[in-house]
Chains A and B, each alone.
Chain A
């Protein structure tokens, strides 16, 4: 299969997943959420981590989710630690600024957002491409963005020097909340996905 076809298939799946994720996120936080696909790219692990390090301004809270089933993927969602407090207020319909410290509800918020966003992705795979997958319970980690990103790509980077990444960024409209979402195919998942998408 040509790389262009794989690229086209992944972009299609990425865009559909992101649309679905935007919808569920907006509904959950009762605010407009705009998610943009930043890119589907095959990137050298050194360059990818260097890039994240250069924009790493501090601590983030991330949810790691394994999507298991027909085509295994790894999913990561992370948000600046300060913004995770805002997301918690939005979800609980509290006045912004109510949640002041990193507590069990903040961890739980990121975990649920990870779960719901990952579910939105698997939902697209199932409904549009008949690919059955389900998310495993998210593991939440509060750490440096670069550490979280490094651990996320570790398994793929151990096997190959270039990793294929689907990266998107989303903003909550009117509030300066920025989050990132990544999808990483495991093993040959991208080729199989392209084959399936190509038939539809």
Chain B
């Protein structure tokens, strides 16, 4: 049965058929990977660009970082649905700078990091809406690959 699932920070959720994966983002990035041939997809809600020295630590939350989270999402899709990287397309959202008093623009760093990793995998970036100063609410329909995105205070858009 199709369900709507919330994806918290530093998490990955997968879905197929009518499943909808939903999340709300600030400086975090939501990476939606979709395979049309499998009618399946996954959503990664990452917080930071790189795991750095933490990458080797046992039990780290891989979904927290772009450089460990994207590989984890690709791997999970392969294990669960037999999806290969070549089957996938990506759509990314978020990366806002919500708090203007914080100097570091981690949202922008996240967006750059995700795009670089997707390029390494050869996964085409079909749509992206990142940056700005407001939060993002997204709903990823795993059957069609459609993503409904609403930046706070703005219109609902389909990607």
A contact set with B: CB distance below 8 Å: 45-51, 53-54, 56, 59, 64, 139, 141-144, 146-148, 150-151, 153-154, 157-158, 161
CA distance in complex: A161, B62 (Å): 11
Q: Cβ of A64: which chain B residues have Cβ within 8 Å of it?
A: 99
Contact check, B98 vs A157: say whether CB atoms are below 8 A apart. Answer: no
For chain B, residues 106 to 159, give those with C-beta under 8 angstroms from any C-beta of chain A.
106, 134-137, 152
Q: Is the CB of B25 within 8 A of A150?
A: yes
Report B-chain residues with C-beta under 8 Å of the C-beta of A56.
24
* Contact A46-B9, Cβ < 8 Å, known A143-B98, A150-B24: yes
A-B contact count (CB 8 A): 83
The distance in angstroms between the C-alpha atoms of A145 and B21, with both chains bound, is: 18
Contact check: which of B47, B61, B100, B135 meets A146 at CB < 8 Å? B135
B28 located at the interface, meaning its Cβ lies under 8 Å from any Cβ of chain A in the complex = yes
Residues of A within 8 A of B11 (CB): 46, 50
Give Cα distance in the complex from A139 to B106, angstroms: 18
**Interface of chain B residues 1 through 25 with chain A (CB within 8 A):** 6-11, 22-25
Q: Tell me whether chain B's interface is mostly helix, strand or loop, or mixed.
A: loop
Nearest Cβ in chain A — how far from B48, in angstroms? Answer: 6
Q: How far is the CA of A139 from the CA of B100 in the complex (A)?
A: 8
B27 interface residue per 8 A CB criterion: yes
Complex contacts, B136 vs chain A, CB 8 Å: 147
Contact A154 B135 (CB under 8 A): no
Closest A residue to B134 by beta carbon equals A143
**Which chain A residues lie closer than 8 Å to B22 at the CB level?**
53
- The verdict on A59 contacting B100 (CB below 8 Å), with A50-B7, A53-B23, A143-B134 known, is no
Asked if residues B6 and A54 are in contact (CB atoms below 8 Å), the reply is yes
The yes or no answer to B80 lying at the interface (CB within 8 A) is no
| B85 interface hit (Cβ, 8 Å) | no
Complex Cα distance A47/B45, Å? 13
Give every chain A residue within 8 A of B61 (Cβ-Cβ): 45-46, 161
* B48→A144 contact, CB < 8 A: no
CB distance from A75 to the nearest CB of B (A): 14
B95 within 8 A of A: no
CA distance A127 to B29 in the complex (A): 42
Shortest beta-carbon distance from B61 to chain A in Å: 5
- A-chain residues with CB within 8 Å of residue B9 when the two chains form the complex: 45-46, 49, 150, 153, 157
Q: Which residues of A contact B42 (CB under 8 A)?
A: none
- 11 new A-B contacts, CB < 8 A, other than A147-B134, A154-B26, are A49-B8, A50-B6, A53-B6, A139-B101, A146-B24, A146-B135, A151-B98, A154-B106, A157-B9, A158-B48, A158-B64
